[in-house]
Structure 1
Amino acid sequence: MWSVAWAVTRYSIPEEMERGSVVANLAADLGLNTAVLAEREVKLDIIHSKKYLEINRETGELYIVERIDRESLCSKTAMTCVLKLDVIIKNPLRIFNIELEITDINDNAPQFRRDSIELDISESASPGERFSLTNAVDPDIGTNSVKTYHISNNENFNLDIQTGSDGSKYANLVLKKALDREEKNVHNLILTAVDGGVPPRSGTASITVRVLDVNDNAPEFDRKTYSINVAENTPIGSLVMRLNATDLDEGSNAELSYSFMLYTSEKVQDMFELNSNTGELKVKGVVDFEEIMKLEMHIQAHDKGQNQLSGQCTVIVVVTDVNDNHPAISITSLKRAVKENVPVGTLIALISISDRDSGANGIIDITINEDLPFVLNESSKNDFALVVSESLDREKIPEYEIAIIVTDKGTPPLSDNDTISLEILDINDNAPLFPKSFYTIPVMENNGPGSLLSSLAAFDPDLHENQYLVYFIIEKEIVNTSMSMLFSINPENGDLYALKTFDYEREKEFLFHIEARDSGVPPLSSNVTVHIIIVDQNDNTPVIVSPWSAHGSVVEEVIPRSIDKGHLVSKVIAIDGDSVHNSRITYQFLQLTDATLFSLDQYNGEIRTMRMFSYRDARHQRMVVLAKDNGDPALSATVTIKLSTVEQAVKVYSDTMEVPLEYDIFSDLNLYLVISLGAVSFLLLMTILVTIVLKCQKPKPTKAAPPVCRNSIISQRNSTIADSTLISSDAYWYSLFLAETRKGKVVVRQPVPKAGYIISSIPRSTGLTETSESAASTLQV
């Protein structure tokens, strides 16, 4: 059911109230219960497009949710501004009409329609003349609108303020003192509009008054008399001077025209011309010092105003004598090219100089550009000889540009110049030069024949045939082999090639010289030392020399079952023909019947028991040992050992008791020692060692030790270890091997590299000295 609307309730608030400000308490004013407002649905409808107000249901207060601006809601000319809204409460439906009058505050400053005002006023304007100005507007109303105007302090203007029929205020500019454009041509003023609010607000506009000119000033020259010097033979059209008269007026009143006055002679007017617009005075005819030395002209300047005004000046011209002839240069007996080894004092050219002037204007100085190996020698007055003063070097400076400069002593001095181009011819005075005096070139062994090793190009700063180089290998024989059979060099560019495949195990380095020779006459040459170092590759597979069998890689051994833990069962020894790094051998089991029974030392190859045999252990044990070198990729060899055990100890040959094994002990060789040993020294040392061993070794008597040679480098070892014995302290390199097995002694000899190793089996009953082709079986590997 609809309820009857209540009478309109009206409130008045100032504009721009802060958000959250309470306008009225509707619950109190309309007689509403706040509990009813909280329970019922309350809707606040505002006629305008924005929502400015809201009701607090708990207190019934009407408060502002958005700031209200009177000037944006209502017309700027409206005296009143009302915001209408309805409060609707449902269940039952009740409608309350509310009017909210927005009262004006002084929140807007006056503002001019234009920020700047420009006025043009003639300097002939009379005091009391009035000039209209634009007025200011203020969106506020009543006393908050524009109340008055002010102008900035000045001597020439004041304001006349008027009130319109609608109460608006406007101002006129009044001239109170006559203007003088020559004194001040622009007046800048500030116009201020002030409203009647509390506190008052204001706005400003700038006024620019441009003072218009009248022709009230005559032209004036900066000097009444001008005195200038003009040199004889000054070219026609040359500027003598520029006359400058000034007029304080502007526009056409300041535009000037220059002209000769009537009492200036026609002869002067024939010699000079005057530009009527610019005042430029230029030479019109020939100026000759011998004809006239001084002349005078009278010139006037007049403006182009309605009532023309003019000014005058006098110009006195003094003609001066000038140095008007240039000195001249004449070059004879000229050489265009000389060799770089010409002697000091060699004549290059004869030079003569002259000047048509006289007096100081005819005296001439001659010079050449500095820092050149040449000098001018005077042979007679104004005659000179250009000669070489220092040694020449084409490689430093191949060509000279000799500038010859002559200058007279006139005022101003006149000069002339000429240039001699001299080419320096080359001689063969520079030997070829290698970038380095010593080349070390590493070459990997097994290189392909014809492979490029390095480029050994030299440089020669000379030219043409003196620069063309040919390269040679200086012949040198090594073991009846010429270097030219091992290496080749490209005679044109110095590229060095290998003619054969090198083997590190045979040759480790080469040292020779290469010569570079130019094609000059006589030829010059230089040489460089080349050190070729052969780099080892892992190209030799390890060879197992103990235990060894002439019939294959399977070795059969017999040991008693009663041996203790740690017993030396066998010892695997392998040798490798590569260098120290690539020849280092390590050992490991590949196959083993019982991994708990035997151990293998990876460095010395000793196979020992890890425990005693039990009745459960098999009587026959099989083991495969791998010997692997340290190369990349690694190479390896294997040996298979079949081990049989017996219940009772096997009788050992009686002649092995207390018989020492002789072996060679070498120091731990490293790469530097290996490189330092030459092939010839190595073979000679081996020959001496083998001879000493053969002479010191005697047939072994029962239970007696053989005599030992004091000069031998072979030391003794207790022979109770009846297995292979390493004779070198370096576990990775062997030059001589002497070992003893149960079947006899084994000798390993290393002949020429790459030929392999010769392994000889010597019967047990014989001594080392009894080795012969019939007594030993030999295996070539």
Structure 2
Amino acid sequence: MLAATRQSGPGAQRLLPWLLLLAAWRAGSAQLRYSVPEEAQHGTFVGRLAQDLGLPLAELVPRLFRVASRAGGDLLEVNVQNGILFVNARMDREALCGRSAECGVHLEVVVERPLQVFHVEVEVRDVNDNPPVFPATRKNLFISEARALDSHFSLEGASDADVGSNAQLTYRLSPNEYFSLDVPTSAEQVNPVNLVLKKSLDREVASELLLVLSATDGGKPELTGSVELRITVLDSNDNAPVFDKSLYRVKLPENSSNGTLVISLNASDPDEGSNGHVLYSFTTEVSPRLEAYFHIDSVSGDIKVNGKIDFEENQLWKIQIEAVDKGNPPMFGHCTVLIEVVDVNDNAPELVVTSISLPVPEDAPVGTVIALVSVSDRDSGANGQVSCALTPDVPFRLLSTFRNYYSLVLDSGLDRELVSGYSVVVTARDAGSPALRASASVWVEVADVNDNAPAFAQAEYTVFVRENNAPGCHLVTVSARDADARENARVSYSLVERRVGERLLSSYVSVHAESGRVHALQPLDREELELLRFEVSARDAGVPALGSNVTLQVFVLDENDHAPWVLPRGAGGPASEAVPVWVSRSAGAGHVVAKVRAVDADAGYNAWLSYELQAAPNGAASGGARLPFRVGLYTGEISTTRSLDEADLARQRLLVLVKDHGEPALTATATVLLSLVDSGQAPAAASSRAAGVAGVAGVAAAAGRVRAGAACAGGASAVGSWSCSQRRRQRVSGGEGAPKADLMAFSPSVPPESSSADSGVQQDIFGNVSTLILGYFSSLLVSVTY
């Protein structure tokens, strides 16, 4: 009959700190016991495993219900549909456990989601499938007719491979008038079975006797074995050798070296001569296997070690010794030597580590079962008592779940980015002296979880690009690194779309999704957009995806792509019209008669303007006289170089060349018509100095972009038109809506121009150079407000 019992082990109470896994471990530490007879046929029912564990049948397949431990091979199997444990292969108790009183197969049953581990013991019950067996089927005995009544003759008993009552033997002797049977009553039955002479032998009456000795075990049904005893009656030899004891008990440490003395036997024979000369030997029933381990000296009776004595192979040796004299006929004496092998700590523990949950996600909760550990030691007593420990400084611990069974569980949090894996070494140590150790290692890989967002190499990227760039030119490469692995670390880039004025950001720039290379999609115009500020997003491929943004500032650097533009005199006058200026002939040297005003849409050196007179197409003075006018190099003011006189032509045409400092320089020209009049004849002489002079613009389209307008034309400054062009508001794109005008650059002021022409020129040069240098750096070190 099959039986199932449940035992409660100590494993659950050890796991009280792990509240999340308390219920699972209580179930995991409870033990089931079943019982099944050996030799049961395939398919024999063992127990309702799932039902006894409290697992619903509908959850068995989804939760991967299975037998994880194969300590018993494929002897037992479980049906995952109905949860029944059944016999899968023939079980021979004697092959599994030898003559051990207890025999069982240990199973580890695992279910997942959540993980639970159960320990099941299946007892293999002994059945009486082995009959008693004598060492030989026939034994020859030589007994003198002179032997006294009640003489004992030792016989080798039978052995039975079964255990318990199935191995309890009862001996019987076939009916005869000469001999009876003396059977030992001790449970060990180590004393020999003896024939007892109860009637004197007479060789002349019966020279040979045939008897049968049978042994019957206590099984149901009982089994019997027998040996035939052939007794030859010999002529008298008065005395047989007699040992000091009929049973000798000896303890022998295992691993004793060859030649170690086990015991010295002594049998005495009171006869004289050859009748009292005794020789020793193993009985004929001794197996050749025993002779491979022990040797007996036939003369001295010394028994010595002859091979490797292993406690784990055989713990007890029973040797039948025979002493025979040299009489005619010879006389025999017998004794039994019982050698108890003493265990020595010569076997290191054995470890088996079975992985359950590898690799381990880095966000696995504390208490997650990583692997199952089983340990065994072939030694006995303290030599076979094993304790286990882990290498230090690992986030794991061992929990004892059953006798010599442990679970390797997570003891603290994991972070794959700090440590990607652990080499966990389990060390088993027995309690012997000296202690023996064994180790087993398991590599615990930490699986990545998407817990890190991509991080850019820089907090902000600042890029300088010259205007009029080629479409598709490379601006910068952004790079973000993700500390995760595989898909969780695969980064893709994209623009954070927004509007730049009336257009979308994506019409200006693009970013390659894989490389992070940022390209300008079209030529940039500094006069339209001086700073483009936008964000690039980096996202990983994890689920859910994580991302971060970085800000890019693209400063558009100026190129000399705009020629100077001469401001018209009036609001309605065309730039190409030459306007006459009245000059009194009484004007002295250094008198300012007019001023040419020009601006440049560029910046920096490209907008720094200078003025110079060109030869007039129709001649400026008669007779090659020196021209009485000059123009300020950086102010554009036209002044007299000397006092005017009657020899000077009444009408003077001046051609003023306006040139910027770009490379190559761009120019514009202005034509000034001067009319020399006598004092008191100039109707507009008082206002002529403040009048603007019309000019010819080098690039007509630039007029629409210049934002200085009439306000820039209003005042006379020593730094000239470059200063005016720099006072305009610069256009910056940093967010949604229209471009902002928070970025401004101002040129420093300079002292008023002196009356001296030379000093005025020097002031123009000094003021413009200093303004140029300061203005250039101030344009780089601007402050931007958003």
| Fold agreement, TM-score > 0.5 | no
Higher helix share: 2
* TM-score for both structures, normalised by structure 1: 0.43
Structure number with greater CO (CA < 8 Å, separation at least 6) is 2
Higher strand share: 1
* TM-score for both structures, normalised by structure 2: 0.43
